[in-house]
A and B are shown apart, each in its own frame.
Chain A
Amino acid sequence: MQRLNQLQRRVREAIMAADADGTEVCAASETVNATHGLSSPEHLRIYRRAVTGTFTRALGQLYPVTMRLLGREFFDGMASRYMRITPSHSPDLAEYGSSFAEFIEGFEPAAGLPYLPDVARLEWAWHSAFSAADETALNIDGLGEVPESDRDRLVFALPASAALLASQYPVHRIWQVNQDEWTGPEEVDLDEGAARLIVWRRGYDMRIDPLQDNEWSLLSDLTGNVPMRVLSNKFPDMATLLPHCVEHGWIAGFQLAESTD
């Protein structure tokens, strides 16, 4: 098996190496037959192109707005740079590409588009919500059964699909005007201002909801498991804010924190 292992490593290195004419391709081509019309390195390059295509196509499906903003050629070039320095560690391609936004942040040719990393973050949150576990709405009957003396220990939870996303740019508007079905004007003014968003799924419906300041603060605290006792001190409008968030579906579960007394 050692011979086979060595061969597989050489072939993988040839396929993933940055340089199509580099030493990795040379080394692996010693193991590969030449045929009519194709040299050994050319046989390996067929796989280089196929693998690049597989990764860039997958990233294009996960980041369609990013691709649309940049155009296909730019996006594919950027994605093929990313895939050469970012190995996939899962047989499931849906788990690939979570660090794409961080990569874009440091990607010099895209530096003129400062909102782009946050658009990519929004798209990853969308992808994650899309495939998150199915969930039922908050169990209000169960909540009613919590004794009054335990209410200060209640910890509410966001839907499992939910991600909170803050950006200094109106990325939800950029996302919106770059959907296939959008028919309005495609112009967005970045000076419209910052976005605070919850990206989540209600049943099978995907949603991006812009949040008000107090909604954002409460939901952020909930992701940190802050109990009711603390929240009721912090939010003077709690009597309306909490039902409001529940009504929207942004709160899907609850549990009782360990007693601190």
Chain B
Amino acid sequence: MSETADVRIRGAGIGLRSQHHQEIIARQPAVPWLEVLSENYYAAGGTALANLEQIRNLYPITLHGVGMSLGSTDPLNFDYLARLKSLADRFEPEWLSDHLAWISVGGEYVHDLLPLPYTQEALDHVVARIDQVQDFLGRRILIENPSTYLSYRDAEMSEWEFVREVAESSDCDILFDVNNAYVNASNHGFAATNYLDALPAARVREIHLAGFAQYDNYLFDTHGERVHPPVWELYQLTIERIGPVPTLIEWDTDIPDLEVLVAEAEKAQTALEAHSCSA
């Protein structure tokens, strides 16, 4: 759990998507790092893994997952974790992350990041789970604040307090998704800046940026558009408050040409560099 292990991940990277494998290998665009969605490389063999092998030789990577089901009341899935560990052993990511959410109960997976109630019971539970995961993987993980579309009546604390308490109590790091904070603030009616005041800056090692969709009565986290202006504003406030933390552009729906992703990352890079100079 070295504090200097992250030196290779700097600046604004992009999420690696299979559509772009060939182009990234051939053209090697100027992005400082790539984030890999772990579960898309759980195959035993084949093209995707072979591509990743090549790409890994060109860029530092991080692994980002959706399968840990950290908040679930089921037993931890150690088969899943063992596969994750072997993926990490093979590709040597700078770090691994997953979400503060649950995706399964009763052995059945819904494959969507469902929110936890922000209660002491859920807090104790998820902290114990993160402890177990970190012990098994032998390293500290990052947990991400998910976008949510419901809140529970029995909440005993706010979501930003919950995220902070989980990180402090389990001694894990934080992947702060600025877009998710913005979406949740709008959906549940709070000020997104509450997050900035609550997060322990030293634990925030990565930031996510993405585009949401505006529906009739709520914002929906599609990762299908450019980052929206108010999210860029919140991002600016975030790096002023927390520092020029490595930042990632995520895009998952209607995935555009690689240049679009690179241009979004350059925008974040400019913001990060402006901050570094003024600091």
Nearest-CB residue, chain A, relative to B45: A134
Which single member of A5, A58, A204 contacts B73 (CB below 8 Å)?
A5
Q: Which residues of B contact A47 (CB under 8 A)?
A: 112, 114, 149-150
A131 in contact with B150 given A5-B105, A7-B117 (CB within 8 Å): no
Q: Which residues of A contact B153 (CB under 8 A)?
A: 30-33
Q: Separation in Å of the A133 CB from the closest CB of chain B? A: 4
C-alpha gap A56/B190 in the complex (Å)? 33
A1-28 residues at the B interface, CB under 8 angstroms = 1, 3-5, 7-9, 11-12, 15-16
C-alpha gap A135/B187 in the complex (Å)? 50
Q: Which residues of B contact A248 (CB under 8 A)?
A: none
C-alpha gap A47/B221 in the complex (Å)? 12
A91 in contact with B39 given A32-B151, A44-B150 (CB within 8 Å): yes
C-alpha gap A22/B189 in the complex (Å)? 28
Q: Which residues of B contact A33 (CB under 8 A)?
A: 150-153
Taking a contact as CB atoms under 8 Å apart, the answer to whether A89 and B125 are in contact is: no
Q: Which residues of A contact B67 (CB under 8 A)?
A: 91-92
A4 in contact with B217 given A12-B105, A47-B112, A201-B46 (CB within 8 Å): no
Q: Which residues of A contact B217 (CB under 8 A)?
A: 36-38, 42
Q: Separation in Å of the A240 CB from the closest CB of chain B? A: 32
The size bracket of the interface on A is 35 or more
C-alpha gap A44/B121 in the complex (Å)? 22
C-alpha gap A43/B46 in the complex (Å)? 40
Q: Mark B89-127, 1 if CB is under 8 A from A, else 0.
A: 000000000000011111111111010110101100100
Taking a contact as CB atoms under 8 Å apart, the answer to whether B189 and A4 are in contact is: no
Which single member of B48, B108, B117, B187 contacts A4 (CB below 8 Å)?
B117
Nearest-CB residue, chain A, relative to B102: A8
Q: Looking at chain B's contact residues, is the secondary structure mostly helix, strand, loop, or mixed? A: loop
Taking a contact as CB atoms under 8 Å apart, the answer to whether A1 and B121 are in contact is: yes
Taking a contact as CB atoms under 8 Å apart, the answer to whether A46 and B111 are in contact is: no
Taking a contact as CB atoms under 8 Å apart, the answer to whether A89 and B107 are in contact is: yes
Q: Separation in Å of the B148 CB from the closest CB of chain A? A: 9
Q: Which residues of B contact A58 (CB under 8 A)?
A: 111
Q: Is B139's CB within 8 Å of the partner chain A?
A: no
Q: Which residues of A contact B108 (CB under 8 A)?
A: 12, 16, 87-89
C-alpha gap A93/B67 in the complex (Å)? 10
Q: Separation in Å of the B166 CB from the closest CB of chain A? A: 14
Question: Nearest 3 pairs between A and B by C-beta?
Answer: A91-B67, A131-B43, A134-B45
Which residues of chain A have a CB within 8 Å of any CB of chain B?
Answer: 1, 3-5, 7-9, 11-12, 15-16, 30-33, 35-38, 40, 42-44, 46-47, 50-51, 54-55, 58, 87-94, 130-135, 201, 204
Given A33-B152, A51-B110, A134-B44, 15 more contacts at CB 8 Å? Answer: A4-B122, A8-B72, A8-B73, A31-B153, A32-B151, A35-B187, A37-B216, A54-B110, A54-B111, A54-B112, A87-B108, A91-B66, A130-B47, A133-B44, A134-B45
A–B complex contacts, Cβ < 8 Å, 11 sampled: A3-B119, A7-B117, A8-B73, A36-B217, A40-B150, A58-B111, A87-B109, A88-B110, A90-B80, A91-B67, A92-B39
